[in-house]
Structure 1
Amino acid sequence: MNTKAAEELPAVSVIMPVLNEERHLRTAVRRILDQEYPGPMEVVIALGPSTDRTAEIAAELVAEDPRVRTVENPTGRTPAGLNAAIRGSQYPIVVRVDGHGLLTPGYITTAVRLLGEMDAANVGGIMHAEGETEWENAVAAAMTSKIGVGNAAFHTGGLAGPADTVYLGVFRREVLEKLGGYNEEFIRAQDWELNYRIRQDGGLVWFTPQLKVTYRPRPSVRALAKQYKDYGRWRRVVTRYHRGSVNLRYLAPPSALLAVVLGLVLGAAVHPAFLAVPGAYLLGILGGAVVEGRGLSLRARALLPVALATMHLSWGFGFITSPRSLARRVMASVRPTSKDVLSQARS
């Protein structure tokens, strides 16, 4: 890119909330700094109260590169960390990256170009899951398959176009300040909730498969189950908070869970014929694993049905058991405004 074009590119703030990310933090930041974005760039890391070496590694990164600095996130919650990093940043384009997300080459340059070309409020792409162990490889295959996550383009890919939500996101700061940034009551699903408000305000959320972020899956069945239970729990809060935001894809996991449980109960108490329902689900995920497991090792292919069932049933359990009191608490909260949340640190 020539010098004149570089001078015309807007400055970029990359924001990164982290908590217990010693395994991936250095690599994630290095992928940002290696982007070769021609315009000015800064990286603001919001440090939660980690119990590993995350803070020490962040301090090393700050000492090594003047473009990196940290801000505190005492709660450790993702949306609070995102808002803290936004307050601590200064540039007109805001790029969200997670501590275990690895940007692919050219990501920032492409995103900034598309923001301008599409006149979008937010652009994003694919959550490209890649594992480092056999279990993580199985989870990655599940997370990038339609049988695992439905037709979500930011998981499975698709054509560029307007979207309900995208993975992470590259935003215009003015949009974030107008809408008050992330709603800090949403411990999970904060991206979907923010993108819903952007769309309700008339802004364009643009998906493109040109943008990919490598994502490292959870390293155990227990961690994956907790992640997806929380996803389902908070997606139910979104549907109660924003009436009309539910769609059929969100109802599939709880429906599957209820069908399996009822089939098992009725099969044991009434007639074995009812066992056909959980049997059909089992055959479905086994068949799906055969299709989606091509290219995986034998062990990863054997683990793939476990990953699929863990994701489906944990998400469904979280959705079904999400208490109304949680939604009422969110509804009772005072929504942040740009003046009193995002602009206070820069005023």
Structure 2
Amino acid sequence: MDHAPPISVIMPLLNEEQHLGEAVEAILDQRYPGELELVLAIGRGHDDTLGVARELARRDHRIIVVENPSGRTPDALNLAVGAANHEIIVRVDGHGFLSPGYIERAVTVLEETGAANVGGVMYAEGSSSFEKAVAIAMRSSLGVGGARFHTGGHAGPADTVYLGVFRRSWLTTVGGYDARFSRAQDWELNYRLRQAGGTVWFDPELRVRYRPRPTFRRLARQYRDYGRWRRVVAREHQGSINARYLAAPTALVANVVGLVGGFVWAPLWIVPGTYATAITVGGLVIGRRDGLAVAARVPAVLATMHGSWGWGFLTSRPGQLLPETDEG
């Protein structure tokens, strides 16, 4: 870069003791040519994430540690932005690991496009057979629809992106992250940025490795919360919903109606039968390159993602924002 402006990297954290060192190392090893600081906002969890963060800060003066009493992600993000010293804000998560050159390219694209926010691909990558199956599903349109930040695609304006590299002035303009949103705060913020006239820019060359949830239970909870909070966003911002977000709840209702109604009129069983066949065949196909142990898990992973997202969307309570914490 001919000109490398100073940047502040912010990372909200809760119960990330095990992987925090690796995530921080991936940031500090970016070799960004300008000044860089890293703000860690730590929630009060059940492990020693705060202790690990303080030790890392003791070793490297570029690290700033702030405590987040609520443990909620939007509070952590706003506290970190408040503690940051620079105009360009780079958001990173404890579950994510930046690819080499990510920050330099993101800042370059931010300046070239004049965007309010620049982001890229959430590239899921697992270690166990189950995590690998989840990663395959998350990278496939069969699992998450056509979202470019999951599946890739062409560079250009987008509804939302994974994480993001922001101009602080735009965050100030829209009032930062809405602390009422325990989930979906990225999507909600990007919606307000676009409504205020800013551009959210997707660049497929910006890749962040993401570690999936390691069990069916945690995966189901994650996707239930995704569905629940996406509906909260839709209520808060009328007209923000689209067909992709309605696919999972529609499929869940159709399958339940078909399964139960089939006892009265047998042809209705074709609905859940067709769905089961589609995710079984599709799951085996998209997972075949990783071997049978992984591929065999993909259909159940797809069903868990679809069903949990749909259930969360359908059962999301109306008329309020839910005061949840961001664990697991």
C-alpha deviation, 1:325, in angstroms: 3.0
Displacement of 1:177: 1.1
Q: Which residue is 1:323 aligned to?
A: 317
Amino acid at match of 2:287: G
Find 2:93's aligned residue among 83, 89, 98. Answer: 98
Letter in 2 for 1:38: P
Query: Aligned partners of 1:307, 1:22: CA distance in 2, in Å?
Result: 27
The amino acid of 1:112's aligned partner reads V
Query: What SS does the aligned partner of 2:262 have?
Result: helix
Q: In the TM superposition, what is the alpha-carbon distance from 1:318 to its structure 2 partner? A: 0.3
Task: Specify the alignment match of 1:334 in structure 2.
Answer: none
* TM-score (normalised: structure 1): 0.91
Alignment equivalent of 2:201, drawn from 198, 203, 206: 206
**Aligned pair 1:114/2:113, yes or no?**
no
* 2: CA distance, partners of 1:325 / 1:121: 30
- Counterpart of 1:42 in structure 2 is 37
1:156 to 133, 151, 156: 151
**Offset of residue 159 of structure 1:** 0.4
> What is the alpha-carbon distance in structure 2 between the residues aligned to residue 219 and residue 290 of structure 1?
20
Alpha-carbon distance between aligned partners in 2 of 1:53 and 1:272, rounded to the nearest angstrom:
56
CA distance in 2, matches of 1:277, 1:141: 25
1:275 aligns with 2:269: yes
Q: Which amino acid aligns with 1:180?
A: G
Residues 1:57 and 2:30 aligned together:
no
Determine if contact 2:284/2:299 at 8 Å carries over to the other structure.
no
Distance in 2 (alpha carbons) for counterparts of 1:256 and 1:42: 45
Equivalent in the alignment of 2:247: 252
Q: CA deviation at 1:68?
A: 0.6
**Partner-residue secondary structure (3-state), 1:10:** coil
1:60-79 to 2 correspondence within 5 Å?
Answer: 60-79=55-74
TM-score, reference length from structure 2: 0.97
Structure-2 separation of matches of 1:94 and 1:297: 40
For 1:214 and 1:252, how far apart are their aligned partners in 2? 26
Q: Give the Cα–Cα distance (whole angstroms) in 2 for the partners of residues 188 and 147 of structure 1.
A: 23
Specify the alignment match of 1:180 in structure 2.
175
Deviations 1:117-139 (A, max 9, x none): 11100000000000011100000
Matched with 2:326 is: none
Residue 288 of structure 2: SS of its match in structure 1?
Answer: coil
Taking the TM superposition and a 5 Å limit, the aligned residue runs for 1:180-329 are: 180-268=175-263, 270-327=264-321
- Structure 2 letter corresponding to 1:157: G
Question: What is the deviation of 1:184?
Answer: 0.6
> 2:227 touches 2:312 (CA, 8 Å); kept in 1?
yes
Counterpart of 1:209, as a letter, is P
Partner SS state of residue 126, structure 1: strand
| Distance apart, 1:298 and its partner CA | 1.4
What is the CA distance between 1:52 and its match in structure 2? 1.2
Q: Specify which of 156, 160, 164 is matched with residue 169 of structure 1.
A: 164
Shift of 1:294: 2.6
In the alignment of these two chains, the number of paired residues is 323
Question: Would you say the 8 A contact 2:14–2:49 is kept in 1?
Answer: yes
Deviations 1:226-262 (A, max 9, x none): 0000000000011110000000000000001001110
Q: How far has the Cα of 1:288 moved from its partner?
A: 1.1
- In 1, distance between residues paired with 2:219 and 2:29? 30
Paired residue secondary structure (1:293): helix
Mapped contact 2:154–2:204 kept (Cα < 8 A): yes
CA deviations on 1:169-227 (whole Å, 9 max, x unpaired) are 00001111111110010010000000000000010100010100000000100000000
| Residue 338 (structure 1) aligns with | none
Which segments of 5 or more consecutive residues in structure 2 lack a partner in the other structure? 324-328
Q: Provide the rounded CA distance (Å) in 2 between the counterparts of 1:147 and 1:64.
A: 44
SS at match of 1:325: coil
CA distance, structure 2, for counterparts of residue 286 and residue 80 of structure 1: 40
**8 A contact 2:91–2:165 mirrored in 1:** yes
Deviations 1:125-166 (A, max 9, x none): 000000011100000000000000000000000000100000
Paired residues of 2:110 and 2:118 also in contact (CA < 8 A): yes
Q: What do you get for the CA RMSD once the two structures are aligned?
A: 1.1
State, as a whole percentage, how many aligned pairs show the same letter: 58
Give the counterpart letter for 1:203 in structure 2. Answer: G
Q: Secondary structure at the match of 1:232?
A: helix
Alpha-carbon distance in structure 2 between the residues aligned to 1:128 and 1:84: 27
1:9 positional shift: 1.3
Match of 1:337 in 2: none
1:272 deviation in Å? 2.1
How far did 1:24 drift?
A: 1.5
Cα distance in 2 between the residues matched to 1:217 and 1:246: 25
**1:291 Cα deviation (Å)?**
2.1
Q: Distance in 1 between matches of 2:24 and 2:266?
A: 55
